[in-house]
Chains A and B, each alone.
Chain A
Amino acid sequence: SQQGEEDPQALSIQEGENATMNCSYKTSINNLQWYRQNSGRGLVHLILIRSNEREKHSGRLRVTLDTSKKSSSLLITASRAADTASYFCATDAGTGGFKTIFGAGTRLFVKA
């Protein structure tokens, strides 16, 4: 089964606008993470939210988690051209960190 499916698959916005990406998953989790990837390079960890948390902030990032709906969202406020990248959600599939399952990702393009 697919774990961590993001939508939209692609998002194009103007600099200064907010970008919202959503993720759904199927199995129980201990935590959910969001990563960024620039053009096939290594992934950069953005934020981790535990299953007993509902919202978390880090700078311009806001992540929500709804375990009843098995979904999460990533909001990037006041986007910049440098935010152009692919964003992936990833879950531990209940393994407590021994297995990280990534979604297909959202490709974000921020136009200057």
Chain B
Amino acid sequence: EPEVTQTPSHQVTQMGQEVILRCVPISNHLYFYWYRQILGQKVEFLVSFYNNEISEKSEIFDDQFSVERPDGSNFTLKIRSTKLEDSAMYFCASRIQGLRGEVFGPGTRLTVL
């Protein structure tokens, strides 16, 4: 069964550093998402991406964040200057056309020291 994959599984970085989280969505999916989940809390929507542009973004997704789909298979989330409060699990998800549920990747645990 097709899967969404994410790398790395765990990223440790120093405050102020840039990080890039990578995702490979399912190949025939058209909608792409990033979410984050701070330990013990709810899953929070960050951004959705469709037709090579951002469709929706939350108030969390400020100028420190950006997304790219550089080559038709990868979907990346960049955090320009990480803060301690960016420590969380980051989940990528993708969805096929139509009313279907999203398929989530296993997540990247980001730890900012």
Contacts and interface: CB of A to CB of B under 8 A. Distances in A.
Given A43-B104, A95-B56, A88 B48 contact: no
A105 B41 CA distance: 9
Interface string A34-63: 010100111111111010000000000000
Contact of A99 (B45, B103, B104): B45
A31 interface: yes
A105 B42 contact: yes
Interface in A62-112: 88, 90, 95, 97-105
A99 B43 contact: no
Given A97-B31, A98-B50, A103 B100 contact: no
A88 B41 CA distance: 12
B95 interface: yes
B55 A98 contact: yes
B43 A97 contact: no
A4 to B, nearest CB: 9
A90 B89 CA distance: 18
A33 interface: yes
Closest 7 CB pairs of A and B: A45-B101, A42-B104, A99-B56, A98-B55, A102-B43, A98-B56, A43-B104
Given A45-B104, A98-B48, A103-B42, 12 more contacts: A37-B43, A40-B107, A42-B104, A43-B91, A44-B104, A45-B102, A97-B31, A98-B31, A99-B48, A100-B33, A102-B35, A104-B42
